[in-house]
């Protein structure tokens, strides 16, 4: 095999595969290097298997709701081993599909650990690959250093490989990975305690969403242990013991470390190639994904810009179109929709109410109601929606929702928001009845109005 290429891609995850295929489509000779499984975090040990687990949990609640609608249902029982085998078969199918897509695109796949030798050379074992452009797309990995003893706990990777449910679970962390797995495991029948240091889970999200999610998780039976810093985790014959800064102790048979992820840059030889990173190891890049070293670019979670699979894909394609397609392209990171797959799920796009207030003036519209489907079954579950609107030009600045189908609904509304929709556009849109989504076009009066933010003179 020749070692002369137009592009070397390090990492065959979502961003790397997208960049490699797009560059090859533009006629570039591309090699992609992967030390693990082709498909990366999202396909193999992240988004896809996680959502399959979420679907499994949702079926349990659906069976319970069916009784209220007249169905006679035998006592349900979840078989984790069955799900694990089906999940493994699906991820293997997807990995094979990704490999086939690379081959059909004409991309050369090299297995092994990559180490940058210079701005134009990458060593993989005994081979040295050379190209005038290198793209680093190695993604991220679970962090294990938030508190002493955390390395003893499972990570999200391990949870997705479970063949049996724990007797009970202590989830450590308050971010989206923590709340998702807390919700999913509780839905599968495992008692869950969620421990985090902030007053509410999901720091950085809109406060209205955070407050209502906390209540929804508690209504599902999850014990929330927030507002206290975490000191250490120890393991003994009975399971895990989490010591908090106020002296209280939380115990469970199993523990999940969901305290976040860090860029997967260890051992890549970035320093030797002159690539600048921050204190957490994230690669510093400009708007075109260029690093500090000419000839080397980086996309996806390894840059810590916005750690979402579609963003990594868009960054990879933008790089390929710019460098090989004579079509300069940049990714706009300012308005990107995201979802958290709890039960109920939530989704958001644009500015939070708190961020919009810093710009001011802002009008805030809300809807908070019991959805028809679950209310009929006697549930107290609620759906919450919020529109954050510019008080000067009526443009919608933020869309937020907690409730069934929130990701599907907000994905559609994100198109309107990115296109510059105003509140008047929402008002003159005819509702589809009866749906939950219609509430977004039926909010007539603001519940809060914030004036222009007063800034101190410089």
Q: Are 296 and 136 in contact (CB under 8 A)?
A: yes
441 is in an annotated binding site: no
238 is in an annotated binding site: no
| Alpha-carbon distances, residue 178 vs 142, 203, 211, 324, 327 (angstroms) | 12, 12, 16, 40, 40
Query: Is 221 labeled as ligand-binding?
Result: no
177 annotated ligand-binding residue: yes
User: Rounded to the nearest 10 degrees, how much is the dihedral formed by the CA atoms of 209, 212, 218, 222?
Assistant: -10
CA distance 317 to 312: 9
Is 3 assigned a catalytic role?
Answer: no
Separation of alpha carbons 71 and 73, rounded Å: 6
Strands 396-402 and 346-350 turn out to be: antiparallel
- Distance, in Å, from the CA atom of 289 to the CA atom of 400, rounded to the nearest integer, reads 29
- Between helices 80-105 and 14-25, what is the axis angle to 10°? 20
- CA 369 to CA 404: how far, in whole Å? 12
* Cα end-to-end distance, the chain, whole Å: 61
Rounded CA gap, 115 and 122, in Å? 6
Tokens 């589809």 locate to 432
User: CA torsion sign, 418 to 419 to 422 to 428?
Assistant: negative
- The reply to whether 176 sits in an annotated binding site is yes
Which tokens in the block code for residue 191? 């008692």
Is 178 annotated to bind a ligand? Reply is yes
List beta partners, residue 386: 366, 400
Which of 113, 262, 333, 433 is labelled catalytic? 433
Query: What is the three-state SS of 129-169?
Result: EECCCEEECCCEEECCCCCCCHHHCECHHHHCCCCCCCCCE
CA–CA separation, 64 and 299 (whole Å): 44
Tokens of residue 27, six digits: 């006629």
180 annotated ligand binder:
yes
CB 182 within 8 A of CB 192: yes
174 marked ligand binding residue = yes
Helices (H) and strands (E) in the chain, counts: 12, 23
Asked if residue 175 belongs to a known ligand binding site, the reply is yes
Catalytic positions: 433
Known binding-site residues for NAD(+) equal: 173-180, 260
Known binding-site residues for FAD equal: 51, 301
Known binding-site residues equal: 51, 173-180, 260, 301
């Amino acid at each position: 095999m020749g070692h002369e290429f137009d592009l070397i891609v390090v990492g065959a995850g979502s961003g790397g595969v997208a960049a490699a295929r797009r560059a090859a489509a533009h006629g570039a000779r591309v090699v992609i290097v992967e030390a693990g499984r082709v498909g990366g975090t999202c396909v193999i040990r992240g988004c896809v298997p996680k959502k399959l687990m979420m679907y499994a949990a949702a079926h349990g609640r659906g069976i319970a709701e069916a009784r209220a609608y007249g169905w006679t249902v035998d006592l349900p029982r979840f078989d984790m081993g069955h799900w694990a085998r089906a999940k493994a078969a699906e991820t293997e199918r997807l990995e094979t599909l990704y490999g086939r897509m690379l081959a059909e695109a004409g991309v050369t796949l090299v297995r092994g650990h990559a180490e940058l030798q210079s701005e134009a050379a990458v060593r993989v074992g005994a081979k040295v690959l050379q190209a005038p452009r290198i793209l680093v797309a190695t993604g991220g990995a679970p962090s294990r250093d938030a508190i002493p003893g955390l390395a003893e706990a499972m990570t999200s990777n391990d949870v997705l490989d479970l063949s049996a449910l724990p007797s009970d679970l202590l989830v450590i962390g308050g971010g989206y990975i923590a709340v998702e797995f807390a919700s999913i495991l509780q839905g599968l029948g495992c008692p869950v305690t969620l421990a985090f240091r902030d007053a509410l889970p999901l720091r950085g999200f809109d406060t209205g969403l955070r407050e209502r999610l906390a209540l929804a998780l508690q209504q599902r039976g999850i014990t929330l242990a927030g507002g206290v810093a975490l000191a250490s985790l120890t393991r003994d014959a009975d399971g895990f013991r989490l010591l908090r800064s106020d002296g209280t102790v939380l115990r469970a048979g199993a523990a999940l470390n969901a305290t976040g992820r860090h860029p997967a840059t260890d051992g890549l030889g970035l320093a030797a190639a002159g690539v600048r990173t921050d204190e957490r190891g994230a690669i510093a890049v400009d708007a075109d994904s260029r690093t500090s070293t000419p000839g080397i670019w980086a996309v996806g979670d390894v840059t810590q810009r916005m750690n979402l699979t579609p963003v990594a894909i868009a960054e990879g394609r933008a790089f390929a179109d710019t460098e090989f397609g004579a079509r300069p392209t940049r990714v706009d990171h300012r308005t990107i929709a995201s979802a958290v797959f709890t039960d109920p799920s939530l989704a958001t796009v644009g500015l939070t109410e708190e961020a919009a207030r810093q710009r001011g003036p802002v009008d805030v519209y809300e809807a908070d109601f019991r959805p028809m489907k679950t209310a009929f079954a006697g549930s107290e579950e609620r759906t919450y929606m919020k529109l954050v609107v510019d008080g000067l030009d009526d443009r919608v600045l933020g869309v937020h929702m907690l409730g069934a189908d929130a990701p599907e609904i907000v994905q559609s509304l994100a198109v309107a928001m990115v296109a510059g929709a105003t509140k008047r556009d929402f008002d003159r849109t005819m509702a589809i009845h009866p749906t939950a989504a219609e509430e977004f076009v039926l909010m007539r009066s603001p519940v809060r109005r914030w004036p222009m933010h007063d800034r101190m003179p410089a």
